[in-house]
Amino acid sequence: MADARWVVDVVNRTVEGVDAYVSWHFCFGNSWGNPTPNVVFGRGDYRALMEELYAAKVDEFALDCAIRDMRDVESLVDLPSDKRVALGVIDVRTTWVETPGMVADRIRRAVEVVPPEQLALTTDCGMRHLPRFNAFGKLKALVLGAAQVRAELGDAAEP
């Protein structure tokens, strides 16, 4: 994984001396709407890649997971306690709008692996190419799905 170490070195030099919350987004198989694994690093999942990237001096990793049916979320089991993840739970490749229940299911899968206090929710990449109506619907589903899971976690956390 010499390539990953080189990338981490470049990122670390880039953010050296920066006094800000740094979130690093990179696409993994989302190029041109393609859900297949990124072959640049030679593996079909995030785990081997993330083990190398955890050395980056960033506060958060922003990762696409909805595009691959959340199958990479398990790769975050070793997320260091000083890092956060902004996890894509909305697939931006399609105009089809997820239901809040679908989004809630994706979030539930995430909190099985990533502690809620280390998790932020987002879309896979940006939505600039989507019609405004679809983008709004997707964001609404994100908010409603997150509210469902927050209510469940709140109930479970009470003594």
Tens digit of each residue's pLDDT (9 = 90 or more) over 60-115: 999 988 887 888 788 899 999 999 999 999 999 889 999 999 999 999 999 999 99
Q: Note the pTM of the prediction, 2 decimals.
A: 0.86
At residue 42, the pLDDT reads 47
Q: Is the pLDDT of residue 9 over 50?
A: yes
The per-residue pLDDT for 50 is: 86
Instruction: Render pLDDT for 18-58 as a digit per residue (tens, 0 to 9).
Output: 999 999 997 765 555 555 555 444 445 567 788 899 999 99
CATH code, 2-157? 3.20.20.210
pLDDT recorded at residue 29? 54
Residue type, 72: D
Say if residue 159's pLDDT is above 80: no
Predicted local distance difference test score (pLDDT) of residue 39: 47
Residue 84 has φ and ψ, to the nearest 5°, of: -120, 165
Residues 6+ apart with CB under 8 A from 24: 11, 56, 58, 60, 61, 62
Q: For residue 28, what pLDDT is reported? A: 62
- Three-class DSSP category at 45: coil
